[in-house]
Structure 1
């Protein structure tokens, strides 16, 4: 019987992206098909109440309400019942780090705007009410304007309004963003033109006498004002006149002086969005002004935000949680421990954590593992041929004219982020560090400016996203090493910073400053500052690495993936096996993802691009020819016109990786409408890439001329309305690479479904996932097509498995071959849950001249066994397909699990001999095999 104290572990999950247009009832309708596919759980994107029109659900405004845009409570219950009826569990992507702000829907944020530091919710957001910039003392910066404050005010896009239902006043920006006026200032609005307004205005002015019940008394007075305006036409007209007196005439700034004066006295300062880079005084999610950080370390806030989630765990609706951006929390370990302790029952728990190379997940975190970015890069690396690195590096350098090492690009990108969009946060951290320094005469002369420069250099050199010093215990050795290495490299950089400042920062970040009693420093201040730096280093790494360096360094973009390491060209087979064995020992239920809503390219686009690693010379020739053709057609023989060479090089990789399967291998040029649709997707991805790179354009100040030129280049390349030498050259090469990429995709898919861990299928990726970066990877999915194809595949396999797979492989473009592999292996997982949940992992060696092409391993639990073999490097195999003399070798210290095996995929039986299995017998049909002992039925 299952252990009631053990969390429910999914066999496999299917990720659904909820949004307007795909709600709870839509998900309920998918339940039968998902159950037939073979997953055990739906892994849902955030479905709590987010800002209206949210495309993703991460901008939550109320953690204790279900999204009305997705159908609300009734539809959610119908979905939960449909899942239960089909024996599907539910895992929720939960967002504890931040909330959506702006607009008019977050009551906590609106209360903070209204009352400032006196708000009951002021401490729940990470707001600095005492910044160095004195004009912001006691104020919250609200950087939401699209132009300078004065211009917006003059244009009449900031206007005072009266809410007759609530009896309250607010300034509205663009008619969308509500900025409440503090009730202490209502008398200035109401004036004395009407006796009733004069009386109630005086009452509002007297609110300070009601401390500590000022806010409660203000609500009573607001209700009274609302009643007066509702019941007395004269009062309502007087209020409207009072509002009109403060609102000016668009185009005449002098008429807005009254409103300007009122705005200046509020607890908020509304400003141009670019002001945030320097003056931001609240913690954001990365650099997104509309997502404000939460202080989840506060017990009361924790209880308030988890009430609904705990109710859903308690009643069995939820089986698990995926914690979004766990590194954004002040104390991730403390949060996870509280989550386990306060939850009403055991549950499955994974964290979105990006691990650096050789960085293990913290073993003292009470989780099942991560969401699987490291696996996505591990399995892709297995398919990349390391022999191609030198040729790829040379091709990239010759084409783009740059050969900057990747680590230098990352460091420069992080420094750029800290000097621009995240400079304000750095400034606040340096101020806090300087305040600590002034507590002791030995360090009192380290100024704000010196420490800002030193801190910037240290953060730029962190090899990990963050450390986890918490003051509760001595820093872990891994944290000491990480901090020590970053400080040492910063010190050696020759920046002219006083070396003593680095010594001070080293001791501050490790909390060694207060390791001994009577240090002269405040322990609270030191620990708090060190932990805040950790919160900052993660977003800097994310923005500098994922959202900048990945778009500047384009040598081989298959490797430029979340959690990836573009400077590591391929993963040795031994390293792949070691990582799987380690996961089986320590994190056997970690999630295994190959596509997510955050991946830069779809799993099959990356697998297809991996083929290029085997042909760097041919790739270089093709890229050179394509460029000459397109440049000559555009009259740009000297290649000086945009796009620049780096962006052009990226474009060719995107075209090759994402070219639609259904447009591949056609006897003539594809239908123009389909190509135009694809071109539109590529244009969007290219413009986003250009802005993320922050070299020729960016999000804050887009270079419209350059971006238009990039779009025009894409359209010109994909123009089917005229003879097209580019497509004539591109399409045959694309078709060859795409067909070879199918082999990589099938290997990647089968490995994900059989190595230790819980495989996750991103929505729609049971067929080919050739997506580009978001929002392209969140496009609507044709689930009806997938349900129909699943029925067809199941029927065909039941009739003649081997023949059906051969036909599907031949017509690979429709994706049924991938669906067949997934459905077959998920069905086997369903029948052997203990094998995958508890089974060991044993790497199997190979011998023969093609031994390096083989990846094989054995999973065993009791009498159950599964032997998986996957072929690598399909281009090399296509050139020399003879497997003769190559075989999988059984370990000398282990008895074979069987002498006769049956392939789950093809249905073939294979005889073992001489201590091994011949590769030709296993892999002559597909690039992958999943073998089980073929024992007589009992």
Structure 2
């Protein structure tokens, strides 16, 4: 089965159901989409807005439209000739509402004797299953335990219900509680004493043992049946790095779906690649996001923006990341560390417990990649051991012995536990904590990114694209996802700051003096968010800043919030909005950087949609989208507006590049339609060359003979230098037409000012190819 020509991601939820998605199929077809790509569809925690808290894989979520809604959607897609890509959650299940999860409910009721006891990664040797749900004022939940009641053969704690083991419901509630296969404990105990593996540090997501045949079969039964029935054409696999053996899992999945397009949510560090043994088509595109967005960032702006960032810009990112990794290991992932230490002690029997803990902790902090894939990727452990030996010579020997044990026994408990935990350390330490702490240019702080690599030189961008085309041409590429901290157009606007570091520094210092946030470490983030997402309401900005400071984990966090500090930060949007004169200056500055931001946004959109891989369009981003991190990026999308604007474009309207975003809709529709109608044009890759004084501001490429994409790079610097002047493109032959504007170019060396005269981007096709 062929890969889709493109995908369009929809967040299906109780507010936007499968029936609503079905009503959009005609619009997506007109837009040129190849396949609809949905968020998880199987039953999730009631009321879940995202669906990643799977509770029952045997049925479609009724809150999202149920089986009837799915059938309507499949029928509409079939009639339109579009594919369907579904999101599969293979690593964990939602347990916040135990009664909604029949597997978990049975485990709580029958303990290790439950037929589902082996489905979850539970340490039954540690005694009753600990459930950290009670209020905890430092007493371990002792006071809250007095609120427990027995109600209808359940143990009740406020709105929560837990099953009783058969025959255990008589007598005082404390005795009933003591008879169960689980213990309700204070929520703080979950950090260090949890007896089940969780997803990252989320207690309400219990991890599965998908390496077991019966678990794999149960989790994948419905998606595989849909594939067999021809109703699903692709799978997006959520977080396979949390599994005991991702390679074995993906091999089994490929064997079960040999002709299905499969991509995995995988963070690929700079210079890293997917394991060669993974039989998948590629990733969900975080690495492409970094490369495409980065090429529009001016590397020369680093020092100036670092000065503007003040205290948040004085430390380079690697040091920030190491400190953040250490923080989450010591505070958020203590339970995970304890389980690794327990597996490591037999390898180091002569070492005291503290020393074993220290070496495990330092190896987790020093890991250079998201996960070690042993034994093939032992280089990750080698680098971690070298770092530990350099920084803590006394731990060098124990670190080497643990490495050797893991390499020799990659399926052993130590190796599996360690590998399952390194992704959580990276996700919580780097992607969350460090990316919020490092605020030189917050646009660089996205999953898969490296803020210390300030921008992506064109040569690096082209090399990455060429490698993608040759090695994984069916991989997904993206610019925005449900996990990005800022939508693509926010990042495109913020990239303009890299061209104006001195002016930005001066403005931020002046504005901060007049309306300080209240914490110098948050000033850069606050002002960049304000201008990047402008216009933005008080509540949206306040919610984003609250999440940001909690993720920073310096003055407050999710576990130990500081209400006074948070109140000051949350009040800043109201204060700055009420400061009319200052707000007018902000609006004027945004008015200045918005047009070059639009140029960047159109440029990165074209390079993604026309470039190697299968491009994904996140819901609504065919127009300007200035969303922030979830749940902000799951707000309702105005599809009626998009339909109206597409009608006008199809009626012959050539929209200007302005605040409506219609130019982006034009670009998206024309490029996706061409990909779908003429897929043979989107093969091969070669950088586009230009000659003349402004050639450094041209970025583009050739695909198959007869297709060229070209975009404007660093538009502020281009204008300051006098524009395109006599810069020429070098095209193979004459007779080119711009798919976006209809403009013809009859020379192999057109002036860039002619090619990019109406839009800052062009998609050229030789006339003989039309």
The answer as to 2:450 corresponding to 1:565 is yes
Counterpart position of 1:235: none
- Identify which range, 296-305 or 682-691, moves more after superposition: 296-305
The answer (yes or no) to whether the contact 1:431–1:448 under 8 Å persists in 2 is no
Correspondence for 2:149: 159
What is the CA distance between 1:936 and its match in structure 2? Answer: 9.1
- Give the distance between the partners of 1:851 and 1:261, measured in 2 at CA: 78
Q: CA deviation at 1:406?
A: 1.0
Question: What is the aligned partner in structure 2 of residue 217 from structure 1?
Answer: none
State the secondary structure of the residue aligned to 2:3: coil
Name which of 697, 706, 718 aligns with 1:865: 706
Moved more, 682-691 or 145-154: 145-154
How do residues 823-862 of structure 1 correspond to structure 2 at under 5 angstroms? 823-836=669-682, 839-860=683-704
Q: What is the CA distance between 1:589 and its match in structure 2? A: 1.0
Aligned to 1:466: 371
Which residue pairs with 1:93 in the alignment? 87
In structure 2, distance between residues paired with 1:507 and 1:400: 41
Which of 656, 680, 695 lines up with 2:531 in the alignment?
656
Match of 2:288 in 1: 375
Could you tell me which of 57, 64, 72 is aligned with 1:70? 64
Work out whether residues 483 and 506 of structure 1, in 8 Å CA contact, stay in contact via their aligned partners in 2: yes
SS class of match (1:813) = coil
Q: Which TM-score applies when normalising by structure 2?
A: 0.97
Q: Distance in 2 between matches of 1:20 and 1:480?
A: 44
* TM-aligned CA deviation for residue 725 of structure 1: 2.1
CA 259–490 in structure 1, closer or farther in 2 if over 3 Å, else same: same
Q: What is the Cα deviation at residue 401 of structure 1?
A: 6.7
Q: How far did 1:585 drift?
A: 0.6
C-alpha distance in 1 between matches for 2:313 and 2:480: 30
Work out which of the residue numbers 604, 619, 628 in structure 2 matches 1:763: 619
Q: Which residue of 2 aligns with 1:700?
A: 559
Equivalent residue number for residue 341 of structure 2 = 430
- What corresponds to 2:36 in structure 1? 42
1:554 matched to which residue of 2?
439
Which of 448, 451, 457 aligns to 2:353? It is 448
- Give the structure 2 partner of residue 230 of structure 1: none
Q: Are 2:47 and 1:150 equivalent residues in the alignment? A: no
Q: Which whole-Å CA distance do the structure 2 matches of 1:15 and 1:644 have between them? A: 37
Where 1:383 maps in the other structure, the secondary structure is coil
- How far apart in 2 are the matches of 1:888 and 1:532? 54
| CA-CA distance at 1:506 after TM superposition | 2.1
Q: Does 1:925 align with 2:758?
A: yes
1:18 aligns to 2:8 (yes or no): no
How far 1:785 sits from its partner (Å)? Answer: 1.3
Map of 1:500-649 to 2, 5 A cutoff?
500-511=397-408, 527-631=412-516, 643-649=518-524
Of residues 366, 375, 381, the one that matches 1:483 is 381
Give the conservation status (yes or no) of the 8 Å contact 2:142–2:186.
no
- Whether 2:119 is the aligned partner of 1:124: answer yes
Counterpart check, 1:180 vs 2:26 = no
| C-alpha deviation, 1:881, in angstroms | 4.0
- Is the 1:629–1:725 Cα contact (8 Å) retained in structure 2? no
1:613 CA displacement: 0.5
Name 1:205's counterpart in structure 2: none
Whether the 8 Å CA contact 1:767–1:816 is kept in 2: the answer is yes
Distance in structure 2 (CA, Å) of the matches to 1:85 and 1:684: 42
Pair 1:912 & 2:747 matched: yes
Once the two structures are TM-superposed, the CA of residue 844 in structure 1 deviates from its matched residue by 2.2
Which residue of the partner structure matches residue 54 of structure 2? 60
Instruction: Find out whether 1:878 has 2:711 as its counterpart.
Output: no
CA distance 1:796–1:881, shift in 2 (3 Å): farther
Distance 1:161 1:44 in 2: 39
- Alignment partner of 1:490: what SS? helix
Three-state SS of the structure 1 residue aligned to 2:659 is helix
- Given that 2:607 and 2:700 are in contact with CA atoms closer than 8 Å, whether structure 1 keeps it comes out as no
Aligned twin of 1:748? 604
Q: Say which SS state the counterpart of residue 510 (structure 1) adopts.
A: helix
Give me the whole-angstrom Cα distance separating, in 2, the residues matched to 1:374 and 1:559.
12
Q: How many residues align?
A: 766
d(CA) in 2 for partners of 1:504 and 1:466? 19
Is 1:342 the counterpart of 2:332 in the alignment?
Answer: no
Give 1:323 shift.
0.1
Question: Within 1, Cα distance between the matches of 2:14 and 2:89?
Answer: 19
Q: How has the CA–CA distance of structure 1 residues 936 and 431 changed in structure 2, closer, same or farther, with 3 Å as cutoff?
A: closer
Out of 568-577 and 847-856, give the one that drifted further: 847-856
TM alignment of 1:761-840, pairs within 5 A: 761-797=617-653, 804-805=654-655, 808-809=656-657, 812-836=658-682, 839-840=683-684
Note the aligned Cα RMSD (angstroms).
1.6
8 Å Cα contact 1:483/1:509 also seen in 2: no
Q: Which secondary structure state, in structure 2, belongs to the residue aligned with residue 781 of structure 1?
A: coil
CA contact (8 A) 2:141 2:187 kept: no
Find the aligned partners of 2:41 and 2:305 in 1 and give their Cα distance: 43
Is the partner of 1:826 in helix, strand or coil?
Answer: helix
Q: Compute the displacement of 1:175 (Å).
A: 2.7
Offset at residue 466 of structure 1 (A): 0.3
**Number of the residue aligned with 1:729:** 585
Give the match for residue 364 of structure 1. Answer: 277
Select the structure of larger CA radius of gyration.
1
Distance 1:738 1:266, change over 3 A: same
Instruction: Tell me the CA shift for residue 528 of structure 1.
Output: 2.6
Q: Distance in 1 between matches of 2:622 and 2:312?
A: 40
> Once the two structures are superposed, what CA deviation does each residue of 1:175-232 show, in whole Å capped at 9, x if it has no partner?
32x222221535xx1xxxxxxxxxxxxxxxxxxxxxxxxxxxxxxxxxxxxxxxxxxx
Confirm or deny: 8 A CA contact 1:580 1:755 kept in the other structure.
yes
Which SS does the other structure have where 2:162 is aligned? strand
How far off its partner does 1:432 sit? 0.9
CA distance in 2, matches of 1:813, 1:884: 27
| Structure 2 unpaired stretches of 5+ | none
> Following TM superposition, by how much is the alpha carbon of 1:616 offset from its aligned partner in structure 2, in angstroms?
0.4
Equivalent position to 1:27, from 5, 21, 24? 21
